[in-house]
Amino acid sequence: MVKLSNLLRGRDLLSLRHFTPDEIILILDTADNLKKLQKRGEKHQYLSGKTLGMIFQKSSTRTRVSFEVGIYQLGGQALFLSSSDIQLGRGETVADTARVLSRYVDGIMIRTFAQSDVEQLAHHAGIPVINGLTDLLHPCQILADLQTIREYKGRLAGLKLAYVGDGNNIAHSLLFGCAKTGINITVASPEGYRPSPEIVSAAREAALATGAVIEVVTDPVEAVAKADVVVTDVWASMGQEAEQAQRAGLFPPYQVNEQLVKHASDDFIFLHCLPAHRGEEVTAGIIDGPRSVVWDEAENRLHVQKAVMALLM
């Protein structure tokens, strides 16, 4: 096997904000190489004998399967820990959980609600911690998105990406991912549902190094105009079920449909992190249509997270 870079060994992946453009490209290049090895059936057991502890306080399909399969393909093993399996935040502090798990496993992936819990876990752990999703950020998903975009477009810098919908964790991590890789991004969200101003400001600061243009608007047509990549997400994320009815009344103008994408570039690609609600944030004709690359995007969660684990652990 080709020797992997040690540049990121021992690091945490809490947010793409903490990674340089070159470090993100290293992850993407490693993901591409691991994908080739997997497709050729060549063993690539860079993590032989290592164990990943997977903490799930939010349920998941893609996150659990991709991390669990990924660590197996890398020669290691996964330990699934649901909220009913451990006392995280229920009788044992996050700090103590971090200290204990650091004595047992070689890395931790956590999918939870509060970003502060992930950061506290990483602060007290002596092993790498990977953010599998919080209400604020979803860095692993956006690394998979970047890998997919590069596969289809051959580059990242200079492209235009339009995100249409709720200014949620996907929008936040896309802002950092695009800023760091030179993709111009326009986010279109209704008033009251825009991305965090602090994150927008931090993304604009990061974009100074790459020349990426960061815009936040309310008009979805303005966002999608001449876009190379169109992205959306559900209108109400996990934990926001009580807001479903209110959001359903506000978000229909932000549906990605056949009329909206007429304003995009002729060769645009469509991304969605899944699960999708056809007929709400996107029509079936778009997500199941010829411009959709969501299944390649979902597959790339496996490859890019393998790269993250192999480089950090």
Q: Which of 138, 172, 247, 272 is catalytic?
A: 138
The verdict on 132 and 152 lying in the same domain is no
Q: Is residue 150 part of a domain?
A: yes
pLDDT attached to residue 244 = 80
Would you call 141 a catalytic residue per the annotation? yes
pLDDT attached to residue 1 = 82
CA atoms of 297 and 294, how far apart (whole Å): 5
The verdict on 178 and 279 lying in the same domain is yes
The verdict on 285 and 149 lying in the same domain is yes
Q: Which of 141, 147, 255, 305 is catalytic?
A: 141
Would you call 277 a catalytic residue per the annotation? no
Q: Which of 272, 301, 303, 305 is catalytic?
A: 301
CA atoms of 129 and 119, how far apart (whole Å): 9
pLDDT attached to residue 84 = 84
Q: How many domains does the chain have?
A: 2
Domain that holds residue 183: 141-297
Q: Is residue 9 part of a domain?
A: no
- The CATH number of whichever domain residue 28 belongs to comes to 3.40.50.1370
Query: pLDDT per position in the chain (313 positions), as tens?
Result: 889 999 999 999 999 999 999 999 999 999 999 999 999 999 999 999 999 999 999 989 999 999 999 999 999 999 999 988 887 767 799 999 999 999 999 999 999 999 999 999 999 999 999 999 999 999 999 999 999 999 999 999 999 999 999 999 999 999 999 999 999 999 999 999 999 999 999 999 999 999 999 999 999 999 999 999 999 999 987 667 778 878 988 999 999 999 999 999 999 999 999 999 999 999 999 999 999 999 999 999 999 999 999 999 9
Per residue in 229-249, pLDDT (tens digit) is 999 999 987 667 778 878 988
The verdict on 180 and 281 lying in the same domain is yes
Distances (CA, A) of 231 to 78, 290, 296: 31, 15, 14
Would you call 44 a catalytic residue per the annotation? no
**pTM of this structure:** 0.97
The verdict on 308 and 282 lying in the same domain is no
Would you call 259 a catalytic residue per the annotation? no
Q: Which of 62, 64, 111, 150 is catalytic?
A: 111
